[in-house]
A and B are shown apart, each in its own frame.
Chain A
Amino acid sequence: MTLTLTRPRSVARQVLPGGPPQGRTLGYLFLVPAGLLYAGFVLWPLAQSLYLSLTDWDGASPDRRFVGLANFRRLLGDDLFWRSLGHNLIWVVVGTALTMGVALLLAMLVWSRPRGFTALRTIYFMPQVLPAIIVGIVWSWIYNPAFGILNRALEAVGLESWTRGWLGDPSFALYAVLLASVWATVGLAFVIFTAALHNVDTDLIDAARVDGANGWQRFRHVVIPQLSNAITLVVVLLLVHGFQAFDHVWIMTKGGPDDATQLIATYTYQKAFMENEVGYGATLSLVLTAISLLVSIAVVRVRERA
């Protein structure tokens, strides 16, 4: 008896590069709805922004005068733009470091699933689900110089000299708003780290312990490398969030006092919608998008190489 081995038809289909033509067409058809949405809600507005950035449109007039690159030239000499960008960098660096640190610390503390883990996880994540308006209002109350709990608490423990108008002092306002934002953001990073820690190979930790590694060494050289993907994800999310930060600042200070909390996003809104300079506002928003994109790509590349 002779046995002839033939490849099943289904297998033959799978190995054909790119699949059969009709399969590819069907695949592209499945992409159409998402593609249309993306084109309509991302690419088209982006193209419109680019167009508006080349005009001096005030947001109301039917005339959109073409001004070429004048808005971009103006931006280079705009002190408030550079000041806002500086604030954004502080926001991104300090905010990312603080959020990462706190979230990782909290995730490590509950890694062993202590009693009340579910309640703690809910409490830590709770600020993340609160609307930005609630976060802004609550923290404005906390910082309120007349009846805010922070100053009252400082007075109660004998630290009267530390009390101040947190949101009204140009030296502290940015950090005060940033703290509120970190509080609101840390929950998401915490959940991601908690999930990532769940997949950490504890045998490696035990092996390191047997080899004499202390707690810090086990954390630094065994746990952290296994969290690298989660760390990359959280860093990118925080960077993008940091460059796009708007809501908490707008609710709490509107960029004041004396532009001490002005970020590029708030400056963009102010120019486009309050000062009727939509063309210049579009320019600012494009620059913000470019910076955010470049930084995110750079971070991912660096992490991948590491």
Chain B
Amino acid sequence: MNTPSRRDLFRGGGLAAAALTLSACGWGRTEPSGTGTGTGAARPGLKVWDQFTTSPQNEAVKKIYDRFQGAAIARSAQTGDQLTTVGKTALASGTGPDVIYYQVGAGNAGVLADAGLLRPLDDVAAKYGWLDRLTPFAIREASLDGKLYGLPNESENTVLFYNKTLIEKAGLTVPETFDELLTFVAAATKKGYTPIAYGQSDVYPSWWAFSMMAGNLAGAQPMGDLIFDNKGSWNTPQLVEAIQLFFVDLVKAGGFIKDLNSLGGPDAQSLFLAGKALMNLNGTWAVGTIEKDMPGQEIGIMAMPSVNGGPRVYPGGIGSAYYISAKSANADLAAEFLDSLYQPEAVKLWVQEGKIFPPVPFESGGFTLTPLQELAMGVAQNGGGDARANIGYAVNHGLASPGFLKAMTSGFQAVVAGDKTPAKQAEELQKAWEAGLTS
């Protein structure tokens, strides 16, 4: 066997160094990261960063992007947290994505828009007729200071899923009023079930819960006016009662696992999926997972039970929206790509395979939908009644600043721990809200 000489080693090292240098320059790479779906090297490239990291959305999105023939899509799927962290610098550098799928709201996309990193889309919307197709609340969600910046997607509602099979087996009935809910949770606990799978160690579940209770107590439209137009305040008696009922009374009645401050959203959902909990406070985005993991169980969807005969409101909103980078050299192509996302065939893929409802009207007659999807679609369309009264708003959208979001998360944890009263929490929410408006 020949032993390599020192010169051979230098040559080998030189080759390795050259290879490393070339690879660092991007040679041999077909996409920056994530799951590339594009084909056709002759087409121009379009960098798209989105948040569809889980099944079945991820698979559906690949097919939807592949339908676009105008460009080779270099896709990178990242979590929302990752995008929040790296999105700003990526867009500012000018070498980031042409299209980014980012959370709506003043505290999220609003920061990027204020920095001039997003391209206003009013002209694009006019060109492609988006304003005639998109639902008004979705346009409101993706607009900032009166300008449309994003193409909204994921029309979703916060709901209570309930396991009808288990509830009937336990000899219980689905509660319609809040008083019935308190009785229900006591009976469910006695029978060894966790009544409602809900935990708030993550930053967001308490936002969903508060959105539901606030909508029921204060009404859908007043909450919309407060969240989007700053008409009203967060320390009204109705909102104090909303906090009291959910984060104090329902906790004391045994509505949740004892240590809900230490349970994350996914773990709470696991309790429901495993048949240990009768209900799950979640959103219609979870329909796909529930269907996949709970075969043979009859699952229902309901809003938070009515308080004193008031309305039952499904907080609705837009998960995120597609935005075009202000520094994109392919803005026209990016706009064309966005328009392709809601063409009829793409809509069918979003709904049928991605289990996502885009905020555009569509005929579902030719779609194959599961019973749970049908229920979720009904909620998205009219909230099971009058859309104006029964579809509300998410408290973490609109003008909500990062400081307000943090005040909700840590404040509701403190209320559950008994370290803060509902009135104090409402007061602090109002302070954080005002601080966010002036910053």
Asked if B258 contacts A145 (CB within 8 A), the reply is: yes
For residue B92, give the distance in angstroms from its CB to the closest CB of chain A.
Answer: 6
Complex interface: chain A residues within 8 A of B71 (CB): none
Interface size class of B (residues with CB under 8 A): 35 or more
User: A274 at the A/B interface (Cβ < 8 Å)?
Assistant: yes
A62 to B91 Cα, complex, angstroms: 12
Given A61-B115, A169-B259, A273-B85: A146 in contact with B92 (beta carbons within 8 A): no
Complex interface: chain A residues within 8 A of B107 (CB): 276
Asked if A60 contacts B92 (CB within 8 A), the reply is: yes
Complex interface: chain B residues within 8 A of A253 (CB): 201
Complex interface: chain A residues within 8 A of B117 (CB): 60
Asked if B417 contacts A169 (CB within 8 A), the reply is: yes
Which of B88, B89, B262 has a CB less than 8 Å from the CB of A143?
Answer: B262
A60 to B263 Cα, complex, angstroms: 33
For residue A80, give the distance in angstroms from its CB to the closest CB of chain B.
Answer: 9
Q: Which of B257-300 contact A (CB under 8 A)?
A: 257-264, 267, 270-271, 276
- Which of B34-42, B52-60, B350-358, B406-414 faces chain A? B406-414
| Residues of A in contact, count (CB < 8 Å) | 29
User: B403 at the A/B interface (Cβ < 8 Å)?
Assistant: yes
Which of B111, B262, B267, B406 has a CB less than 8 Å from the CB of A257?
Answer: B262
A276 to B91 Cα, complex, angstroms: 15
For residue B402, give the distance in angstroms from its CB to the closest CB of chain A.
Answer: 4
Given A143-B262, A146-B263: A257 in contact with B410 (beta carbons within 8 A): yes
Residue of A nearest to B417 (CB): A170
A59 to B85 Cα, complex, angstroms: 10
User: A259 at the A/B interface (Cβ < 8 Å)?
Assistant: yes
A169 to B264 Cα, complex, angstroms: 14
Which of A60, A166, A169 has a CB less than 8 Å from the CB of B111?
Answer: A60
Asked if A256 contacts B413 (CB within 8 A), the reply is: yes
For residue A169, give the distance in angstroms from its CB to the closest CB of chain B.
Answer: 7
Given A62-B116, A270-B406: A168 in contact with B261 (beta carbons within 8 A): yes
Which of B85, B259, B264, B270 has a CB less than 8 Å from the CB of A164?
Answer: B259
Which of B261, B401, B414 has a CB less than 8 Å from the CB of A165?
Answer: B261
Complex interface: chain A residues within 8 A of B85 (CB): 273
Q: Mark A54-79, 1 if CB is under 8 A from B, else 0.
A: 00001111100000000000000000
For residue A48, give the distance in angstroms from its CB to the closest CB of chain B.
Answer: 13
Residue of B nearest to A56 (CB): B439
User: B368 at the A/B interface (Cβ < 8 Å)?
Assistant: no
A171 to B92 Cα, complex, angstroms: 42
Interface residues of B (CB under 8 A from A): 84-85, 88-89, 91-92, 107, 111-112, 114-117, 194, 201-203, 257-264, 267, 270-271, 276, 401-403, 406, 409-411, 413-414, 417, 419-420
Interface residues of A (CB under 8 A from B): 58-62, 140, 143-146, 164-170, 173, 253-254, 256-259, 270, 273-276
6 closest Cβ pairs, A-B complex: A165-B259, A168-B262, A168-B261, A165-B262, A60-B115, A145-B259
Mind listing 19 A-B residue pairs with CB under 8 Å? A59-B89, A60-B92, A60-B111, A60-B112, A60-B114, A61-B114, A61-B116, A62-B116, A140-B264, A143-B262, A146-B267, A167-B261, A168-B263, A168-B417, A169-B259, A170-B419, A173-B262, A254-B203, A256-B201
